[in-house]
């Protein structure tokens, strides 16, 4: 679970960012020396951390030295790693192991040619030391066996073909066992291997995000909480090693470079207010911001389910196993007099928006079981980031709620967070805009709720504005000047549509 743990800690960066770099030393490869050539194996600790640790340990301890590939099926795979193959009694070959088992870590990597995966019995959690190398694509094995590596040199593929072509007898056992013996398993670092192939990321099973839009209710009476978690995500309640460790973690299917993670951390307020906590975080993050590993996109106070809240959007640059990851975060702190409830969501920058609506659903549905239920209209305002109580709120979100405009309003909010608020001029504009906008917006929002026809008129009026703002989704803004240029251009475009054009039409009608 190493990678998931890393992502969990990244998600909690605002709480516990003690180590801003997860860089490791040059990653380990395993070379299997055989009488037909070498097989160099690259490992996948992010997808199968426990299996990788086990394979490295056994290789380092000489466990595989002298074993043979005892099951060879050309066009399918070659299997080895059984310590019983050191003995001459072939009746026990295929049944040996290290004396313990490793729980399954099934992942989305396809069983294509060259993939190294763990053998097991009918019990998914029965893997031990036996492994197999796929000779030809065998995707019927996908998600049923734990992929933990692949071969990465031309010689390795040649050796695989040589072993797959040897003569076999009963039970697919090779006739000449000396040919297919692993004389030594050797650990090396990547820089020691000069003939590595330039391989792309392993092919993965495509998981359609749109097919997993449901939710599952998570209720924990001991923690006194209940909320909706994304359906199909792995829900865990890890051991609480310290106060800032997460109480609940939901891990989603890996589609991009990392798994999406939603976590909830509960901490005692100890007499602190939300403002006190915000000040502590600001001081704590100074070093991380100065190092360049962390970039704050936006920070704002809000109200969620009648409680004070603080919403932070940020991006971070991290390294793991020699690979770099651009991770985006959203953190929502919900404050009560006794406790702080911190929801955090992290995902790769390119995949962040895929699951953000599901994170917001988790936050919106959050309740403290022991508290009396209050009547609220508690959807997070898709435009402002604020939560609407009965009455008031954002006129744009109220007009779009439950309609075909709702996705456009969500895009508008993401545009604000990911583009406009990344520049000082954009942040200054949004700050001033919010002060003006919320001086009249709640009154109009109330009127919309009371008069459906007026609400439809507002929707019709908003459509041109949303269309012009969507232009910013298709441009690259890399400087303050570009932000000002595009921003002023769009403002003038809207002034022309809403004021100049109607004035000209009225003037002509008068004439």
> What is the mean pLDDT of the segment spanning 85-114?
91
Sign of CA dihedral 344, 346, 349, 351: negative
Task: Name which of 216-225, 280-289, 349-358 the model is least confident about.
Answer: 280-289
Q: Hey, what are 416's tokens?
A: 């604000």
How buried is residue 490: exposed, middle or buried, by Cβ count under 10 Å (0-12/13-18/19+)? middle
pLDDT at 485: 74
Give residue 320's pLDDT: 63
Average pLDDT over residues 475-492: 70
pTM of the predicted protein model: 0.42
Domains 35-192 and 206-374 share a fold: no
Q: What is the pLDDT of residue 281?
A: 82
Strand 71-73 to 131-134 pairing: unpaired
pLDDT at 509 over 90: no
pLDDT > 80? residue 360: yes
Place of tokens 């094995």: 141
pLDDT value at residue 3: 45
pLDDT of residue 214: 67
Average pLDDT over residues 104-124: 91
Contact assessment for residue 495 and residue 464, using Cβ atoms and an 8 Å cutoff: no
pLDDT (0 to 100) of residue 123: 81
pLDDT of 361 above 80: yes
pLDDT in tens, 48-79: 999 999 999 999 999 999 999 999 999 999 99
CA nearest to 316, candidates 8, 11, 109, 97 = 11
Q: CATH code for 206-374?
A: 3.40.1000.10
CB 94 within 8 A of CB 126: no
Residue with tokens 């795979």, as numbered in its chain: 77
480-495 vs 452-469: helix axis angle to the nearest 10? 140
> What are the sequence ranges of the domains in the chain?
35-192, 206-374, 386-511
Q: In what order do the strands lie in the sheet with 37-43?
A: 71-73, 77-80, 131-134, 115-118, 147-151, 37-43, 28-34, 182-189
pLDDT of residue 19: 33
343 neighbors 368 (Cβ within 8 angstroms):
no
**Of 190, 194, 195, 201, nearest in space to 26 by CA:** 190
- With a pLDDT cut of 90, the percent of the chain lying above it is 31
Chain-wide mean pLDDT for the chain?
Answer: 79
Task: Give me the pLDDT at residue 7, please.
Answer: 45
Name the nearest CA neighbour of 394 among 377, 411, 372: 377
Q: Which residue has the higher pLDDT, 152 or 253?
A: 152
Q: Determine the pLDDT at residue 222.
A: 85
- The residue-averaged pLDDT of 292-319 equals 83
What's residue 17's pLDDT? 38
Instruction: Return d(Cα 492, Cα 495) in angstroms, integer.
Output: 5
The most confident of the ranges 114-118, 267-271, 360-364, 399-403 is 114-118
Say what angle helices 406-418 and 452-469 make with each other, to 10 degrees. 40
**Lowest pLDDT segment from 8-22, 136-150, 186-200, 465-479:** 8-22
| Nearest alpha-carbon partner for 212 in 273, 255, 256, 159 | 255
Determine the Cα–Cα distance for residues 343 and 276; give it in Å rounded to an integer.
18
Cα–Cα distance, 462 to 172 (Å, whole number): 70
Residue 6, pLDDT above cutoff 60 = no
The CATH architecture that domain 35-192 belongs to is Beta Barrel (2.40)
Task: Tell me how crowded residue 430 is: count the other CB atoms within 10 A of its CB.
Answer: 18
The region of weakest confidence among 76-80, 172-176, 273-277, 480-484 is 480-484
Quick one: pLDDT at residue 10?
A: 47
More confident residue, 359 or 459: 359
Express as a percent the part of the chain with pLDDT over 70.
75
Quick check: 289 pLDDT over 80?
no
């Amino acid at each position: 679970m190493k990678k998931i743990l890393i992502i969990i800690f990244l998600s909690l960066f605002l709480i516990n960012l003690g180590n801003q770099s997860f860089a490791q030393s040059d990653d380990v490869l395993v070379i299997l020396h055989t009488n037909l050539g070498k097989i160099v194996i690259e490992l996948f600790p992010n997808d199968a951390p426990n299996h990788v640790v086990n394979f490295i340990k056994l290789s380092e301890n000489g466990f595989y030295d002298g074993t043979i590939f005892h099951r060879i099926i050309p066009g399918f795979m070659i299997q080895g790693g059984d310590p019983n193959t050191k003995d001459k009694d072939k009746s026990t070959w295929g049944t040996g192991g290290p004396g313990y088992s490793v729980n399954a870590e099934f992942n989305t990597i396809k069983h294509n040619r060259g993939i190294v995966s763990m053998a097991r019995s009918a019990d998914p959690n029965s893997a031990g030391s036996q492994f197999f190398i796929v000779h030809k694509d065998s995707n019927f094995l996908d998600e049923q066996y734990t992929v933990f590596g692949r071969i990465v040199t031309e010689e390795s593929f040649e050796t695989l073909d040589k072993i797959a072509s040897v003569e076999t007898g009963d039970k697919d056992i090779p006739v000449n066992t000396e040919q297919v013996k692993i004389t030594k398993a050797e650990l090396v670092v990547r820089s020691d291997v000069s003939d590595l192939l330039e391989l792309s990321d392993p092919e993965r099973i495509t998981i359609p995000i749109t097919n997993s839009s449901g939710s599952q209710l998570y209720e924990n009476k001991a923690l006194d909480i209940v909320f909706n978690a994304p359906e199909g995500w792995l829900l865990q309640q890890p051991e609480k090693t310290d106060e800032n460790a997460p109480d609940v973690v939901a891990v989603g299917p890996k589609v991009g470079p990392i798994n999406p993670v939603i976590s909830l951390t509960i901490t005692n307020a100890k007499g602190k207010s939300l403002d006190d906590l915000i000040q502590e975080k600001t001081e704590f993050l100074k070093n991380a911001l100065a190092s360049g590993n962390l970039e704050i996109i936006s920070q704002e106070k809000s109200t969620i389910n009648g409680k004070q809240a603080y919403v932070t959007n940020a991006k971070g640059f991290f390294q793991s196993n020699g690979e770099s990851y651009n991770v985006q975060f959203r953190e929502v702190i919900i404050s009560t007099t006794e406790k702080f409830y911190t929801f955090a969501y992290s995902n790769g920058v390119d995949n962040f928006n895929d699951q953000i609506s599901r994170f917001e659903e988790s936050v919106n549905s959050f309740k403290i079981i022991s508290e009396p239920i209050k009547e609220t209209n508690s959807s997070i305002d898709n435009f402002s980031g604020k939560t609407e109580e009965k009455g008031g709120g954002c006129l744009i979100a109220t007009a779009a709620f439950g309609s075909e405009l709702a996705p456009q309003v969500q895009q508008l909010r993401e545009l604000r967070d990911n583009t406009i608020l990344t520049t000082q001029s954009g942040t200054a504009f949004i700050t001033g805009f919010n002060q003006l906008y919320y001086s009249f917006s709640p009154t109009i929002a109330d009127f919309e709720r009371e008069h459906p026809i007026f609400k439809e008129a507002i929707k019709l009026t908003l459509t041109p504005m949303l269309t012009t703002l969507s232009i910013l989704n298709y441009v690259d803004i890399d400087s303050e000047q570009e932000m000002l240029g595009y921003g002023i251009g769009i403002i003038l475009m809207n002034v022309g549509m809403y004021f100049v054009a109607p004035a000209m039409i009225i003037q002509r009608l008068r004439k």
